[in-house]
Amino acid sequence: MKKIILSTITAVLMASTAQAADTISDSLKNGKLTVNARLLYFDRTFDKPNATDATSFTIGGFMKYLSDDYKGLKMGLAYYGSNRVSGILSKEDGRATSNLTSTGENINMLGEAYLQYDKDKTMVKVGRQGLKTPLMQNHDLRLLPSLYEGAIVKNNSFEDTKIELGYIWAYTGFGSRYNDFSHEETKWGKSGLGYIYLINNSIKKLKVSAQYVKQVSDKDSSGNQVVVADYRYADAVYALPFGKNSYIKAQYGGNSYNRAKNPNFPSSDSVMLGAKAGTTLGMVNLAILTNSISGNAFKAVESGPMYSDWQQGYGPYEPSTAFGGQMIVKPKKGFSLKAAYVKISADRNFRKDGTFTDDYSEINLDVQYALDDMSKLRARYSIKDQSKASDREDRNDLRLFYYLNF
């Protein structure tokens, strides 16, 4: 399937070149080059001596070229990199930060390489690219985001409805730490993932979105069955008729399981439910939230869509109950301060051996300040109390960013 799609796009490009080489040449000459440069200091410390701290100071980001439009056809290329600032910290210090490879090496790769075709209300994009869907996100929490390799189709032909279809066969992992694109066979099967993503605004003040992801083949190339059979998600947001920017949200998610990977796990499927409500008072945005997971562990492809998840994104998330709240203060344009708290209580009956991971509380502070139209400073600090978890240590994370876009 992948080869057929790529061959078709290549044939279209070659045919267009033969008919109007000069015009395509102009589209390439008139293309745009953009740079998203980043500098990140990341420090993770643990409260107990039997856990190893991790620190990195990296510079990088991406440089992207996008050709001008030629009869709806565009080409995009982007080079991504996360490189250790030499002489300050060692490779060993940065191995566990996900800003470098697992061995502490620099990350450099062709992160985007795609062809895009737009016709009326339909867009087709094939190749290496970024994604922003509930179950497949770019998860941009480190120096680099996550990237994907596949083919997607977006259509806006139906009134108040957006439809996105995708076929994904490889990605770069959290923070693009693989330093290349991995096919994830043991999780996705030998033929990758297919998905459908819908957004509907047909009811006044109500926005509904849903995504379903399924393996094309539920076995890897060795014949082993993939454990998680599918990924499901739905979200509804209703704008309340009182207050300023007042809203309520509800979400649903879940997975079907082919079999239990761990004999201590139950064989049932997972169900995730969530609710959130918020409003704005002057310069302050306030929200309260809750999530619950039951049955089996809940997992997204990349980045947890739960209201209570702010950092992890990898899962699988154990059966648990979460309560939390957040406050965002915006005293002036370009400046914001976010403070958030969440408490996760694990279902201690989940594993037969009595161990559990997702039992913790977290305080998260996020300050952002725009220096000008091109640059921004950001500081993010989190305190995670995991003293009740069976296999994790209390930890504190500090991230200091400098962004420069031009």
The CATH number for 218's domain is 2.40.160.10
pLDDT for 312: 63
Report yes or no: 147 and 125 within 8 Å, Cβ to Cβ: no
28 shares its domain with 165: yes
Check residue 263 and give its pLDDT. Answer: 78
Q: What is the dihedral of CA 202, 204, 206, 210, to 10 degrees?
A: 0
Among residues 198, 226, 254, the one where a domain terminates is 226
Judgement on whether residues 193 and 45 belong to the same structural domain of the protein: yes
Is 233 a member of any domain? no
Query: Is 254 among the domain residues?
Result: yes
Residues 56 and 191 reside in one and the same domain:
yes
CA 377 from chain center: how many Å?
Answer: 21
Residues near 127 by beta carbon (within 8 Å), at least 6 away in sequence = 76, 112, 113, 114, 115, 149, 151
Based on the fold, state whether residues 153 and 196 are members of the same structural domain: yes
Tokens of 151: 């083919």
Tens digit of each residue's pLDDT, the chain (406 residues): 444 444 444 444 444 443 433 588 888 889 999 999 999 999 999 987 777 899 999 999 999 999 999 999 999 999 999 999 977 888 888 888 889 998 889 999 999 999 999 999 999 999 999 999 999 999 998 999 999 999 999 999 999 999 999 999 999 998 898 888 999 999 999 999 999 999 999 999 999 999 999 999 999 999 999 999 999 999 999 999 999 999 999 999 999 998 777 778 888 999 999 999 999 999 999 999 999 999 999 999 998 899 998 766 667 899 999 999 999 999 999 999 999 999 999 998 898 888 888 999 999 999 999 999 999 999 999 999 998 888 788 999 999 999 999 9
Residue pair 147/138 in contact (Cβ under 8 Å)? The answer is: yes
Surface-to-core class of residue 121, CB atoms within 10 Å of its CB (0-12 exposed, 13-18 middle, 19+ buried): exposed
One domain for residues 160 and 298: no
262 forms beta bridges with none
Domain shared by 216 and 276, yes or no:
no
Distance CA 385, CA 394 (A): 5
Give the containing element (helix H, strand E) for 353: none
Residues 81-101 as b/e (b if ≥16 CB within 10 A, e otherwise) read bbebeeeebeeebbbbbbbbb
Q: Give strand pairing partners of 197.
A: 164, 211
Residue appearing with tokens 């250790």? 84
Beta partners for residue 77, in sequence order: 65, 113
Other beta carbons within 10 angstroms of residue 379's beta carbon come to 15
Task: Give how many domains the chain has, as a whole number.
Answer: 2
Q: Is residue 234 part of a domain?
A: no
pLDDT for 314 equals 66
Q: Please answer whether residues 338 and 327 qualify as being in contact, where contact means their C-beta atoms are separated by less than 8 angstroms.
A: yes
Closest by alpha carbon to 136, among 53, 231, 58?
A: 231
* Residue environment code for 19-31, b if the CB has 16+ CB neighbours within 10 A, otherwise e: eeeeebeebeeeb
Beta strands in 172-269 (DSSP E): 193-200, 206-215, 230-239, 244-255
| pLDDT for the residue 311 | 65
CB neighbourhood size of 50 (10 A): 6
Residue 111 in domain: yes
Provide the sign of the torsion angle of the four alpha carbons 322, 98, 172, 27, taken in this order. positive
Whether 269 and 163 share a structural domain: no
The boundaries of the domain holding residue 280 are 239-406
**Contact in structure between 139 and 133 (CB atoms under 8 Å):** no
Say if 396 falls within a structural domain. yes
d(CA 229, CA 215): 7
pLDDT at 378: 98
Token pair recorded at residue 236: 């509804």
Containing H/E element for 175?
none
In a 3-state reduction of DSSP, which class is residue 335?
A: strand
Given 202, 226, 250, which residue is the final one in a domain?
226
